[in-house]
Amino acid sequence: MQNAAILTVDDDPSVSRSVARDLRRRYGDRYRVIRAESGSTALDALREIKLRGEQVAVLLADYRMPGMNGIEFLEAAMDVFPLARRVLLTAYADTDAAINAINIVDLDHYLLKPWNPPEEKLYPVLDALLEAWLTTPAVTMPETKVVGHRWSARSFAVRDFLARNLVPYRWLRADEAEGARLLAAAGLGEADVPVVITTDGKALARPTETDLAAHVGMATTPASDLYDLAVIGGGPAGLGAAVYGASEGLRTLLVEQRATGGQAGQSSRIENYLGFPDGVSGAQLTDRARRQAQKFNAEMLTTREVVGLERQDPVTLLRFSDDTAVAAHTVVLATGVSYRLLDAPGLADLTGRGVFYGSAAIEAPNCSGEEIYIVGGANSAGQGAVYFSRFARKVHILIRGDDLTRSMSRYLIDQIEGIANIEVHPNTEVVGGEGRDHLERLTLCDRRSGRVATVPTSWLFVFIGAEPRTDWLGDVVARDGNGYVLTGSDLLADGLRPAGWAPSRDPYHLESSMPGVFAAGDVRAGSVKRVASAVGEGAMAVSLVHRYLEGR
């Protein structure tokens, strides 16, 4: 139990050293022994231990200390480590106070000073208390903790960022006992939430995603100024390009603005991906792909936004939002698409507070026993409905069309039809939402009859199509009318190459109007919106990267 401590506090330095010496002699190989010479410094030490995610097994406090006596200290310490065993060190004249402390601070034992010989008067007591503490269920290991408000968009954003980046954490509400203890230990209050306590004990109040990434071990700064291949976007296409590029010896950089996996990474279950007959969650697939890319030494940056491309032969510059840049001989655009916002009155203000875009799987346990609504008729909506049906009492799927056959795979339709607590509402759309601190009601409209109804709910998950993330490209790369990147033969108008095209050849199949810049996955015009095709295009883009590099 090297992460657990025994803390002793006594204002007499000689006594403090003596008890610490006896404790280290017996328990120093299993516990950290910490000594303090005042109640206030001991409480500071406890708060630091708490923030580091470590444990305190036993507290030993002298009764007669100026400023804060032993009983007052143990009472305050209970708020920080309520499960720690408590011992009061007393003189014979203070035994009445020690007995009274049993009721005040639920004292486990009191020891008369001096306790010599420790083999008879100290160690048997501590052995029993440590054995009892070890059998207490709530002994925990260091972990990232998030303290926030239940219906807070900022708190949800922090939790969602950590979950999508596969960082394990424990969620604590600020208005509950353990969350309040952590805030007090960090010297913060409810106004400072969300607060993230990292595994090394650092408290981050209202952190940005860049703050979070830097403190949970994700890289945010490139290690080099020049790469063979820069991949922009960490969805299936980007991860596929990073794996194949790095495995074939290219110095590869993958830049992701928020979290690897993209929309696929949020899928609760993908059952039609080759090689996974029992299905695989988007998080599992993302984790495997990310570890595979890192195994081949691909460098991965998180929370970095690329805001522009600039050709400076023989390289392309990737300009970041903080005015820094890196250069790459080739680039793969794999920025994917984002869910469209549901344009209905009242919903914008409730985003993250009952209205969620994508599966938001971290909220599933909170939906237990409740009725939830899902908007959308494609595979992502179907996968979400199947997943949430395990928790919610009833799942309502709202679609604008007559049925699901137009945009959902048959295997998902069959699953939905076989789940009793899923109901599909055709020709139905959301026309409004209301609530004070969170979503409380939805207004639905039947598109055929025009009839409007209001339903009570705190949960709306939206999957209504997508749009490419390409506005940042401006005019440097040709796009179609919907913003998708044009590549290959789509760039040839009446057999003519794009304006400003310098090479003497036609663009390669996945190459954009900027030579050496390729597009893969959902961001590319004409792509098949499936995980397998995105991974395949990422791999294909790397083979074309090699052709480009060899032909220069």
Query: In terms of DSSP bridges, do strands 337-339 and 226-232 run parallel, antiparallel, or are they unpaired?
Result: unpaired
How much is the average pLDDT of 40-57? 86
pLDDT of residue 199: 84
Mean pLDDT of 26-49: 90
- The confidence score (pLDDT) of residue 539 equals 96
Q: What's the predicted TM-score (pTM) here?
A: 0.72
Quote the pLDDT of residue 345.
95
Task: Output b/e per residue, 92-111; b: 16+ Cβ within 10 A.
Answer: eebeebbeebeeebebbbbb
Q: Give yes or no on whether 226-338+468-551 and 348-464 have one common fold.
A: yes
Reported as half-sphere exposure (CB side, CA atoms, 13 A), residue 9 has a value of: 30
Q: For residue 401, what are its two tokens?
A: 């069309």
Instruction: Decide if 233 contacts 523 (C-beta within 8 A).
Output: yes
According to DSSP, residue 498 is labeled P
The token pair at 357 is 């875009």
For residue range 330-347, list pLDDT tens digits in order: 999 999 988 888 999 999
Going by the DSSP 8-state scheme, the letter that residue 395 receives in this structure is: E
Q: Are 119 and 26 within 8 A, CB to CB?
A: no
- What tens digit of pLDDT does each residue of 222-268 get? 999 999 999 999 999 999 999 999 999 999 999 999 888 887 777 77
Sign of the torsion formed by the C-alpha atoms of 447, 453, 457 and 458: positive
528 contacts: CB under 8 Å, gap ≥ 6: none
Give the model's pLDDT for residue 96: 65
**When comparing pLDDT for 8 and 95, which is higher?**
8
In angstroms, the CA 442 to CA 400 distance is: 16
CATH number of the domain located at residue range(s) 4-134 in this protein: 3.40.50.2300
Domain locations in the chain? 4-134, 144-215, 226-338+468-551, 348-464
Per-residue pLDDT, 139: 47
Quote the CATH superfamily of domain 348-464. FAD/NAD(P)-binding domain (3.50.50.60)
Give the torsion sign (CA, 261, 421, 398, 382).
positive
171-208 pLDDT per residue, tens: 999 999 999 999 998 999 989 999 999 988 899 999 99
DSSP secondary structure letter of residue 192: G
CATH number of 144-215: 3.40.30.10
CA distance 165 to 157: 12
Cβ pair 532, 289 in contact under 8 A: no
The DSSP-derived string for 288-353 is: HHHHHHHHTT-EEEES--EEEEEEETTEEEEEETTS-EEEEEEEEE---EEEPP---TTSGGGBTT
Task: For 351-409, write each residue's pLDDT tens digit.
Answer: 999 999 887 778 888 898 999 999 999 998 999 999 899 889 999 999 999 999 998 99
Both tokens assigned to 203: 């408290």
Q: What is the largest CA-CA distance in the chain?
A: 103
The pLDDT confidence band at residue 103, using thresholds 50, 70 and 90, is: low
Q: What single letter denotes the amino acid at residue 220? A: T
Distances (CA, A) of 294 to 268, 290, 510: 24, 6, 25
Length of the chain: 552
Rounded to the nearest 5°, which phi and psi values hold at 76? -70, -35
Pairing of the two strands 315-320 and 325-333: antiparallel
**Residues 478-498: tens digit of each pLDDT:** 999 999 999 999 999 877 888
Task: Quote the mean pLDDT of the chain.
Answer: 90
Q: Which residues contact 63 (CB under 8 A, 6 or more apart)?
A: 69, 70, 71, 88, 89, 90, 91, 94, 97, 98, 101
Q: CA dist 106 to 111, 223, 474, Å?
A: 15, 55, 68
CATH number of 226-338+468-551: 3.50.50.60
Q: pLDDT tens digits, residue range 278-328?
A: 777 788 788 889 989 999 999 999 999 999 999 999 999 999 999 999 999
